[in-house]
Amino acid sequence: MKLYTFFRSSAAFRVRIALNLKGLAYEPQPVSLPKGDHRRPEYARVNPQALVPMLELDDGTRLNQSLAIIEFLDQRYPQPPLVPEDALGRARVRSLALLIACEIHPLNNLRALNYLRKDLGLLEEQVNAWYRHWIAEGLAKLEAELTQSPGAGSFCHGDAPTMADCCLVPQIFNAKRYKSDLTPYPMAMRVFEQCMQLEAFDRAQPSKQPDASE
């Protein structure tokens, strides 16, 4: 399998964690977002969404969208499971993953920040405030979910990593990079620390990717 990835893309980071948790080898294909590699015609031809991550299977089939890729991996390589079997557990894990993937990340990705900087001419200080605002709003909701809704254990759901943790960890990396105050989210941070003990999470982090030197 080939993974079209960028070291700092948190959506690609999610899939790298899932591949590592499943023990699946893959060939990384770096796509530099700051250089606009994803917008080049040769990439758009193979990827209509012109985004990373994209997973290319050995037969050439290409899959887009990090959560769709993780669910695919979970169906094809069921062990260890990243989405629980029971309908309510599945709903909870997906809901936590989507809370991060829909309520925080899209507002803070490179595309959105570039629009604020270039099209709207905002100051870097305003862009940083925007970034931290959505982190704070989203992580407060996540913290409330982890503490109020039954199901959390040493990980977001139970005592083994799931797709929700694959989303949480890259989001916390981003929050740290933008110097967000993380003290209001002790439960989320406890789960983060727990995840980072695992080699699968550690090895997937941005600074350990082949394209990180960029």
Q: Where on the chain is the footprint of its own copies (CB under 8 A)?
A: 44, 48-51, 61, 63-65, 67-69, 71-72, 75-76, 87-88, 90-92, 94-95, 98-99, 101-103, 105-107, 111-112, 115, 119-120, 122, 126, 129-130, 133, 137, 141, 144-145, 147-149
| DSSP symbol at 3 | E
Q: Minimum distance between the CB of residue 118 and its own copies, rounded to whole angstroms?
A: 12
- And the tokens for 132? 């931290």
Least distance in angstroms from the C-beta of 206 to its own copies: 20
Confirm if 99 and 106 have CB atoms less than 8 A apart: no
Q: Which two tokens stand for residue 96?
A: 């936590």
Nearer to its own copies, 66 or 198 (CB): 66
Q: Which is nearer to its own copies, 58 or 119 (CB)?
A: 119
Please say whether the dihedral angle defined by the alpha carbons of residues 129, 133, 134 and 139, taken in this order, is positive or negative: positive
Q: Which is nearer to its own copies, 156 or 198 (CB)?
A: 156
| Under 8 Å between Cβ of 104 and 134 | yes
In the complex, the smallest distance separating the C-beta of residue 145 from its own copies, rounded to whole angstroms, is 4
Q: How far apart are CA 121 and CA 80, in angstroms?
A: 47
